Amino acid sequence: MISIDLNSDLGESFGAYTIGNDEEVLKYISSANIACGFHAGDPNVMMKTVRLACSLGVGIGAHPGFPDLAGFGRRNMQLSPEEIFNLVVYQVGAIQGAAKAIDAKVRHVKPHGALYNMASVNRDIAGAVARAVRAVDPQLVLFGLAGSELIQAGEEMGLKVAREVFADRTYQPDGTLTPRSQQNAVIQDADEAVLRVLKMVKEGKVTAVNGQDIFIQADTICVHGDEEKALEFVKKLRTALLAEKIEIRSFGVGSHD
């Protein structure tokens, strides 16, 4: 049986600001990437999200980003590899502390936003992220864009990696995500997103913005928790995957069904 992980970026509310619909989305996914307080999140939201994920048997992951609350971590920052190493170690450690407080375990790490995109194409940044993950816990699974520098760096570090594909984003012919600054970056039609995901999982292909099919390996599928239609997306996607006899399974936790 084919199996796939279904993940979402969660815990991104902070202070008086509520972002996303975490309590509902968590019912349909197998892995949660939880914000660590730099691009979003705060100690209260982090602990609440870790508890919720644990109670539902959802794999707990760190979602470290750039220290950029105003830009939601989606603006590039010019940091040295050492600075990136340090900020990833700091944020993963924060989630580990929250998990340990309730006798849970962090299973994976997925960089957020601009850090994720920069690590996908920049070898030095990718190496800094992978080194940080290994330094904190070499058993952690590193999530990265399928075919990216981050996946290659993780493998070279001896880490277990998960090649990530996106349900609600379009792809460039080189396999990178279309920048959010472009109008066609985000897919709004849930049915279209589901068909694209099934093609990626079953055929190992995705249609790029130029109409060309490119090869892609899918270990985990992301649905963005902060998007307006995130809950609709994840419900339809989960139903379609199960209908195709595709098991939804998180890393190190077991089947979610």
Q: Which domains are assigned to the chain?
A: 3-255 (3.20.20.370)
Quick one: 86 exposed, middle or buried, by C-beta within 10 A (0-12, 13-18, 19+)? Answer: middle
Per-residue pLDDT for 229 more than 80? no
- Quote the pTM value: 0.92
| Statement: residue 256 has pLDDT above 50 | no
Is residue 252 within 8 A of residue 59, CB to CB? The reply is: yes
**pLDDT score of 74:** 93
- 218: which 2 tokens? 């899918």
N-terminal to C-terminal alpha carbon distance within the chain: 14
The mean pLDDT of the chain is: 92
The reported pLDDT for the residue numbered 252 is 59
**Which amino acid belongs to residue 200?**
M
Statement: residue 131 has pLDDT above 90: yes
Residue 105 CA: distances (Å) to CA of 6, 18, 197, 249: 18, 26, 29, 16
Q: Please choose, from the candidates 35, 43, 8, 40, the residue with its C-alpha nearest in 3D space to the C-alpha of residue 23.
A: 8
User: Tokens at residue 18, please?
Assistant: 């509520």
Determine the pLDDT at residue 29: 94
* Spatial contact of 132 and 125, defined as CB atoms under 8 Å apart: no
The C-alpha atoms of residue 112 and residue 7 are separated, in whole angstroms, by 13
Average pLDDT over residues 71-94: 97
Q: Please report which confidence band the pLDDT of residue 146 belongs to, taking 50, 70 and 90 as the band edges.
A: very high
188: pLDDT confidence band, cut at 50, 70 and 90?
confident
Please give the Cα distance from 13 to 15 (Å, whole number): 7
Residue type, 132: A
